[in-house]
Amino acid sequence: MSTTQKMMKAAGFMAAANLVSRILGFVRESLMAGLFGKIGATDAYNTAFILPDLLYWLLVGGVLSAALIPVLSEYIAKGEEEEGWKVISSVTNVIFLALCALVVTAMIFAPKFIAFQVPGFTSQNKELAVYLTRILLMQPVILALSGIIMGILNSHKIFWPSAVGTVLYNASIIFFGALMSHSDDPRSISGFAFGVVIGALANFLVQLPYLRKVGWRYYPVIDLKHPGVRKIIALSLPIIIMYTLNQLQVAVNSNLGSALIPGSLTAIWYSYRLFQVPIGIFALAIGVAVFPTMTEQAALRKTEDLIETISGVTRLVIYMTMPVSVGMIVLREPLITFLFQHGKFTANDTLLTSIPLFFFCLGMTAQAVIQILPRAFYAMQNTWTPVFIGLAAMLFSIIWMFILVGPLAHGGLALASSLGVVLQMILLFVFLRRIMGRIDARTIISTTFKATVVSLLMGLIVFVLARLLEFSLGSGKAGSLGVLICGSLAGMVFYAIATKIMKMEEYEMAMDMLRRRKKGTTEKRTT
């Protein structure tokens, strides 16, 4: 099997696993919406993730996304895997001890952090946010260990244990949320928080046995002078700085959103989760699957192969996400109605949530491309360039948040985010071309133009069909499901036929990825 075929097979499996995980994520969000609606309790729950996520990205995110896989892949490519285990052991020990100390400190100072983060909250919601934050602070240490294992397995091009782990993670949240939560008690939303912690543990445990298969060796040492450890620190440092400073954008968003009508932050959160689904199913899955190959090509100085890989996967995610963004804009209200509108989540909440979803979707393809291009820099062990670009885009978004929150309220915060990711994507292309000399720009632009034109035509067809169906089926939950199914199928068929007639190479790439996933599933069942 060729390298491209292996990548497509891995990407297809990751996409399928992400799809299952995202479906469970929707069940989770729908359950929470039905129990608590869009009120202060859900705002407090979403806010409670900020501090644990900050600690995770402060110590772990940069290591996993930019350093661990490239460095370990380099040791593997050079036949020095044993030395690589010593490096990973040292890094793991440092992260574990530092994270434990930070978690204890964060639990003590959680009230002050929440007071700073969301000054517009009522005292009751601030107290609830502190309580939930302290529960969720048990998660980062477990998540760090499972993330390191995932990086090790991905370096050896083993992806499915971590994919299964994400499914168990969401299933755990659903189970404990349903078991412990009661709609008449806002504090019982903590069931979902406990589910997060237990889900993180399940994610860790399901991956653990597979370390043996890759020859994992653990060393109880901390060797900060080792060249490999120093390289990981050097590569991680800019990413850590970026994610830490990126919390400024999160803080501004929370600060401005907390002063709007209650439930605004939850509306942004729900719409952002919907927006992230196709990103996770397509772009993130492809990015994770292709990253080890890119790092291997970079380590072996196969520049032409690397350019071909970057161009191919970039065009593929553009081809896949462009029609989804248009379709989601057209069908956003029936989508939200079907998923969330029940119990305490009303029709008015649906309208309020559809506003930021519209603005998020405008930046969907740019967000998808951002899952690929920074990894190209990381594969070449260049982490500073994408960091500077990310920081510039972040400042750009923050400026637009202050400008747009007045006229567009929570929709303005979403639009500011989309403007930032579009700028980030453009700058990544510009600087990647400067570094590599070329990036197959003409082909990428041609794909973008064709996908945009066909997607807009598809959107017009789906819009007309949706209006006709709403007239006959109504706008309730059953009617919304009918509109979603018929509209989505009609859009998919039109887009596939049109792009096949146009002989777009990306159509064949997408079909190949689907065939590889099905073939891999069949082979697995027969063994």
Average pLDDT over residues 393-417: 93
- Tens of pLDDT, residues 232-249: 888 888 877 777 777 778
Note the pLDDT of residue 523: 44
pTM of the model: 0.74
- C-alpha closest to that of 189 among 50, 45, 25: 45
Question: How far apart (Å, rounded) are the C-alpha atoms in residues 309 and 300?
Answer: 14
- Tens of pLDDT, residues 284-343: 878 878 888 888 888 888 889 999 999 999 999 999 999 999 999 999 999 999 888 877
In the predicted structure, residue 69 carries a pLDDT above the cut 80 = no
Note the pLDDT of residue 24: 80
Distance, CA of 317 to chain centre: 14
Question: How far apart (Å, rounded) are the C-alpha atoms in residues 70 and 379?
Answer: 6
pLDDT band at 404 (very low <50, low <70, confident <90, very high): very high
Question: How far apart (Å, rounded) are the C-alpha atoms in residues 75 and 69?
Answer: 10
- Tens of pLDDT, residues 10-19: 666 667 777 7
Note the pLDDT of residue 392: 93
In the predicted structure, residue 526 carries a pLDDT above the cut 60 = no
Share of the chain above pLDDT 70, in %: 93
pLDDT band at 394 (very low <50, low <70, confident <90, very high): very high
pLDDT band at 43 (very low <50, low <70, confident <90, very high): confident
Q: Is 182 strand, coil or helix?
A: strand
Note the pLDDT of residue 119: 81
Mean pLDDT of the chain: 85
Question: How far apart (Å, rounded) are the C-alpha atoms in residues 267 and 38?
Answer: 7
Sign of the torsion angle spanned by Cα atoms 11, 15, 17, 21: positive
- C-alpha closest to that of 432 among 368, 376, 366: 376
Higher confidence at residue 92 or residue 299?
92
- Tens of pLDDT, residues 164-222: 888 898 899 999 988 887 777 778 888 999 999 999 999 999 998 888 888 888 888 88
Q: Is 261 strand, coil or helix?
A: coil
Average pLDDT over residues 346-355: 89
Average pLDDT over residues 486-490: 95
